[in-house]
Amino acid sequence: MTIAFGASPARAADAAFTQFIASLWPEAQAAGVSRETFDRETRGLEPDYKLPDLILPGRPATGAPSQAEFVQVPQDYIKEASIARLAGEGQRLMQKHRAALDQIEKQFGVPATIVLAIWGRETDYGRYSLPYDTLRVVATQAYVGRRKDQYRGEFILALKILGEGAVTRKEFRSSWAGATGLTQFLPSEYYKHGVDFDGDGKIDIWHSVPDALASAAKQLVNKGWQPGLRWAYEVRAPDNVDCTMGVPEVQKPIGEWLRAGFVPVRGLKLSASEQAQPASLLQVEGIYGPSFLTTKNYFVIKEYNFSDLYVLFVGHLADRMTSPQPFATPWSASTQLRTASVEAMQRHLTRIGLYKDKLDGKAGMLTRSALGAYQKSAGLKVDCWPSEAVLRAMSAGR
């Protein structure tokens, strides 16, 4: 496929795009989309080459560097003022939707605070207007996106949603990645997890708060949510903590972490059943900032959005709806290395056999742990944090 780009509309590209869309008709038909729906919704459809995560000439295929979860330091992403405002609004909405939330909690075992926090983070409780036409987004991503095969299916299902009249095209708005509705579902997630909770005969995640929140709860349950289990516990790490242990694979009963010197903040006493739960260590700022022991439910929320900062935001916001206290340990990092610098570190760590995950320029759990292992081998201070000093050491061949 050759794509022509220029200041004027790229006619060759658009002709190829139109041809590509037309070629999807048999798949749409097999999924139950009518010819009338297909023709109506794809007529005049054009790609949006300004979206992130596309593989285009002259643009690096490194995913979506514009996502706030991956470029902001924690204290900028988990802003105290935002958390406090959203927690207050969440408390008000908990009273307003009390009957539905009680029923959701009873049916799915997911606390009201968790589904409210997802709604608050995703669309500011419905106040945030999603900026993109969903169909155009998923069509573009299917055509030139980094995950074409996935979005091919999302495009077909987006047509199916429109054909079934679940939402009008005008109100079928999404993020740049095609997530739509109050709690941000991809079209495939709508079909996998959608619930008609208000009993009006249709699943409406765009306008019905009960439908959207029940669907979010069902998605969490389908991904393995365990009722009655906290998402994480904030702890104070011992001074000699080995931050390279902060990966999902290193899992121990919480009691074992406590015996190793990790102390729950604010004198919290954990029951025997809590101490028996397996947990992983999370230190998103390396040895700086707060430390957490994360449970199975932490990783279930992470399936909703793969960023650790997203899960911390949602979990902390949920907690703040019942307790006014911020994290006991303040955030400390004031700057984050640029994506290109973190990616350079990942390349170096891969070359020397310490890192085996994708090169994405994001300082996630595996990257932080690999950095710590490198710091150990190079005789540097082991803090599991991507800094200019570590980058210089790598550049010098240490």
125: nearest Cα among 92, 149, 173: 92
Structure tokens given for 226: 């365990």
- What is the phi/psi pair of residue 174, to 5°? -150, 175
Rounded CA separation 82/95 (Å): 20
- What is the phi/psi pair of residue 250, to 5°? -90, 100
Rounded CA separation 206/305 (Å): 19
pLDDT at 337: 86
> Is 144 in contact with 130 (CB distance < 8 Å)?
no
pLDDT at 335: 77
Sheet holding 232-236, edge to edge: 251-253, 278-282, 291-294, 232-236, 263-264
In the chain, the domains with their CATH numbers are 11-47+131-178 (no CATH), 232-294 (no CATH), 339-395 (1.10.101.10)
Rounded CA separation 163/155 (Å): 12
CA dihedral 137, 139, 144, 148 (to 10 degrees): 100
Neighbours of 230 (CB within 10 A): 20
Distances in Å between the Cα of 178 and the Cα atoms of 55, 132, 286, 380, 398 are: 17, 8, 32, 43, 43
The pLDDT tens digits along the chain (398 residues) read: 545 444 344 566 689 999 999 999 999 999 999 999 999 999 999 999 999 989 987 665 544 444 555 567 899 999 999 999 999 999 999 999 999 999 999 999 999 999 999 999 999 999 999 999 999 999 999 999 999 999 999 999 999 999 999 999 999 999 999 999 999 999 999 999 999 999 999 999 999 999 999 999 999 999 999 999 999 999 999 999 999 999 999 999 999 999 999 999 999 999 999 999 999 999 999 999 999 999 999 999 999 988 899 999 999 999 999 999 999 999 997 777 888 999 999 999 999 999 999 998 888 999 999 999 999 999 999 999 999 999 999 998 76
Distances in Å between the Cα of 75 and the Cα atoms of 72, 289, 331, 332, 342 are: 8, 10, 6, 8, 19
Helix (H, G, I), strand (E, B) or coil at 251: strand
pLDDT at 178: 98
Angle at 314 between CA 328 and CA 79, to 5 degrees: 60
Beta bridge partners, 251, equal 280
Helix (H) or strand (E) holding 170: none
Structure tokens given for 45: 């459809």
Note the pTM of the prediction, 2 decimals: 0.92
Structure tokens given for 392: 């210089």
What value does the CA radius of gyration of the chain take, rounded to a whole number of Å?
Answer: 23
For residue 308, give every residue at least 6 positions away whose Cβ sits within 8 Å of its Cβ, in sequence order, or none. 282, 284, 302, 364, 365
With DSSP H G I counted as helix, E B as strand and the rest as coil, what are the percentages for the chain, rounded to 5? 50, 10, 45
For residue 370, give every residue at least 6 positions away whose Cβ sits within 8 Å of its Cβ, in sequence order, or none. 346, 349, 354, 355
Helix (H, G, I), strand (E, B) or coil at 185: strand
- What is the phi/psi pair of residue 282, to 5°? -125, 125
pLDDT at 61: 53
Q: Which residue has the tokens 């000699």?
A: 240
pLDDT at 13: 63
Q: Which residue has the tokens 């299902």?
A: 157
Rounded CA separation 58/113 (Å): 44
